[in-house]
Structure 1
Amino acid sequence: MKPVCPFVKAARPDDVSLKKTSESPKQHIAQDVKAKQESAEPGIVSPKCPFGYDSQTFKLGPFSCMICQALLFDSSKCVPCSHAFCKACISRFKDCPLCGADIEKIEPNPDLQTLVDRFIEGHARIKRSQSDEDAQNEKKTITYEDVSLERGAFLVQQAMRAFRAHNIESAKHRLSLCAEDIREQLDRMGNTSELCSQLGAVLGMLGDCCRALGDSVSAVSYFKESADFLFKVQTDDMEIIHTLSVSLNKIGDLKYHEGNLEAARSYYSQSLDVRRKKLAGSPSQTLDVAVSLAKVADVDRNLGDESMAVNGFQEAVELLESLTLNSEEVGLENRRISVLEFLKNQLDSKE
């Protein structure tokens, strides 16, 4: 069974440290789309968007916000020029980014938003029969898919654009739609590895959105649910493992800032266990293990267990000092040096 949405390998919106794979997300999407097309029923063609939106390419259309470059959310228009943008985006401006006119006020544009919502609801959900008989009779048989691969990629793409432009509510809404699609599939097909990994990734992104909005309770809830689904996936895929460990670490971070150190240590330790088991000599995974060791050691120090903290910091230092990177891995080397410097500072502070 093919995945519903090809974003298993996609980085979280705020996960800038995620190691890039040899193939770009665009290449993964293209390969999955091709595979789906090859396995499709005879006489059925993949749907094309009449507005030119495509999950594989960057395009803006009449339903796009020119500021965040994602589909309009909470559509609003400037007065007097009437140019439309997302409310969160245009609220940062005093004059229209398109025409330069002074903005006297911002008004809701519910009619346009209704069109956008209807477009999202129907996007890439239709397959049309192209049989000779239908062509002769000028009839078109329309079959609605449960959830299409293109729709999932499309929603995640729009969410990522909105998140990067700090339109968090828009990103959250698109990801929620995607999660609903996958949950419907789970209800029908059960907890398959593909669906669990996809839902785990989307829930983690939703956790990032809630954290960005300052809603730590909802963020923890999403991260926990993300981890639950990713734990069900029996895989050696490093990106899925990374996503699982990141979800656990982010719960630990939120608990740490709440002052719940015992809970923070529990989640940091779970993340460390996941990373240890899947280390397999990968440089990026070795760095991840060192970071997890540092997080656990930091909590141990705050809990008053200095000997455990020192042991953790020293183990992390030894890991990084033994790590050899080639000249092409500049990003990893810079990260290794930065983490190593932090660890040595932690050890020096208690000498």
Structure 2
Amino acid sequence: MTPVCPFVKVARPDDASSKRSSDNHCKYAAEHENEAKSESFDSATIEPKCPLGYDSRSFKIGPLSCVLCQALLFESSKCVPCSHIFCKVCISRFKDCPLCGADIEKIEFDEELQKVVDKFIDGHARIKRSNVSNDSEEADKPVIYEDVSLERGAFLVKQAMRAFRAQNVESAKSRLSLCAVDIREQLKESGNKPELCSQLGAVLGMLGDCCRALGDAKSAVTYFEESVEFLSQLPNEDMEIIHTLSVSLNKIGDLKYYDGDLQASRNYYFRSLDVRRDAMKNLSDSASLSLDVAVSLAKVADVDRGLGDEEGAIAGFREAINMLDSLKIDSSQVALVQRHQSVLEFLNSQIVGKQVDETK
């Protein structure tokens, strides 16, 4: 059975622009659905169901969820005296219980409940059972609960995204780390299949986002670099791979920039620009990719200005402006139209602002 992408329809934590890739995600989901249907001709395949109601497709809140971040409990903590339970990070922001309003006298770690949550995560989506039927013909058919270990990845990533949005970053990092372990195990068994490398590259990038949010720039760079390493092994033909690879390169560039290493920052920004320019050779009509190229040009130009190469900076800004001036976007694509306008305004401000300075 072909592994299921664990982050279908899930955006990078701090990368809102990845919403534009939903068409590709739908493609993956449709392909998996067709494969599942074809397998059902040979054996009766019953989709596994979580007995507690957690599902990798609907992602409903279950009995082991924190009502504040809506993700699985992490460092389960009980309010005293009301005994309501939340994630430690989530409840630490309150003086009164969000559920009942009682004054919180103290917060106690609920070790036993956390063990239940951890045990549940460890066994999620790995259940296999045999079918029992009174019909002799049906009983002879092997009924298999699919081993969907990578569906557990989809479940974990969704939980991580919920936690990240609620600023429970340690929880998100923990779930993503488990997902990365799952995919690495698959890589050991099946080799560096492109889909698995792509999955691991994206999850590592999300772990980098978590580390960056926690202020651990060194670990963030390590995760982003590992993400780049895996994604660089793949053919740059899929928009999702191209996008994730270029974003990881840009984020390393950002961290180097804030650390004051402008030359290293420029190198990473330029590598991201190269990835996007190469993709343009096959996808020249992609408005979103053209916008990405313009952003990369702006990043490189900004560093050039910081390095004292004003002529190179102006050339880069102008190249990006010319590209966007000639770009045609369907007015129905509201998000792209707004992004186009925002990027173009920034680029023009870099040119106009410099011209004003020179006339003084």
Give the TM interval when normalised to the shorter protein: over 0.9
| 292, 297, 300: which one aligns with 1:288 | 292
- Most deviating of 88-97 and 30-39: 30-39
Partners of 1:179 and 1:272 in 2: CA distance: 27
Between the aligned partners of 1:8 and 1:32, the Cα distance in structure 2 is 11
1:316 corresponds, among 310, 315, 320, to: 320
- How far apart are residue 38 of structure 1 and its match? 4.1
Question: Is the 1:4–1:195 Cα contact (8 Å) retained in structure 2?
Answer: no
> Structure 1 residues 24, 238: CA separation in 2 closer, same or farther (over 3 Å shift)?
closer
Equivalent positions of 1:57-68 (< 5 A) are: 57-68=58-69
**2: CA distance between counterparts of 1:266 and 1:204?**
19
C-alpha change, 1:31 and 1:101, in structure 2 (3 Å) is farther
The 8 Å contact of residues 54 and 60 in structure 2, kept in 1 or not, is answered as yes
Q: 1:236 to 1:131 in 2, by over 3 A?
A: farther
Alignment of structure 1 residues 269-288 onto 2, 5 Å: 269-279=270-280, 280=283, 281-288=285-292
User: Hey, what's the Cα distance between the residues in 1 that align with 2:164 and 2:270?
Assistant: 29
Could you say what secondary structure the match of 2:20 adopts? coil
What aligned pairs does 1:1-351 form with structure 2 within 5 A after superposition? Answer: 2-7=2-7, 10-21=10-21, 23=23, 29=29, 32=32, 35-36=35-36, 38-39=38-39, 42-130=43-131, 132=133, 148-279=149-280, 280=283, 281-351=285-355
Between the aligned partners of 1:321 and 1:11, the Cα distance in structure 2 is 29
Letter in 2 for 1:3: P
- 1:97, distance to aligned residue in structure 2 (A): 1.0
Q: Is the contact made by 2:64 and 2:117 (CA closer than 8 Å) also made in structure 1? A: yes
**1:349 alignment partner, SS class:** helix
Moved more, 12-21 or 78-87: 12-21
| 2:149/2:182 contact within 8 Å kept | no
Please report how far the alpha carbon of residue 36 of structure 1 lies from its aligned counterpart in structure 2 after TM superposition. Answer: 3.4
Following superposition, the deviation at residue 58 of structure 1 comes to 3.2
Deviation at 1:166, TM superposition (A): 0.7
Deviations along 1:126-169, one digit per CA (max 9) or x if unpaired, are 22122659999x9xx99897752321110111011111111100
1:309 offset after TM fit, Å? 0.8
**Rounded Cα–Cα distance in structure 2 between residues aligned with 1:135 and 1:149:** 33
Letter in 2 for 1:57: S
Shift of 1:236: 1.6
Amino acid at match of 2:101: G
Unaligned runs of 5+ in 1: none
The RMSD of aligned alpha carbons is: 2.4
Report the secondary structure of 1:129's partner residue: coil
Q: Which amino acid aligns with 2:264?
A: A
2:192 aligned counterpart, secondary structure:
coil
Task: Provide closer, same or farther for how the CA distance between residues 229 and 180 of structure 1 changes in structure 2, counting only shifts above 3 A.
Answer: same
- 1:296 is aligned with what amino acid? V
Secondary structure, aligned partner of 2:339: helix
* Aligned-partner Cα distance in 2 for 1:117–1:30: 31
Shift of 1:42: 1.8
Could you say which residue in structure 1 is the equivalent of 2:358? Answer: none
The one-letter code matched in structure 2 to 1:159 is A
Cα distance, 1:213–1:37 mapped onto 2, change above 3 Å: farther
Counterpart Cα distance in 1 of 2:267 and 2:62: 47
Distance 1:37 1:157 in 2: 25
TM-score normalised by L of structure 1: 0.92
Code of the aligned partner of 2:20: K
1:22-62 per-position Cα deviation (integer Å, ceiling 9, x unaligned): 54958854763563364266244232100011111131111
- Partners of 1:158 and 1:171 within 8 A in 2: yes
Q: Distance in 2 between the 1:128 and 1:37 partners?
A: 20
Paired-residue identity, % = 65
For the 8 Å contact 1:26–1:56, the answer to whether it is kept is no
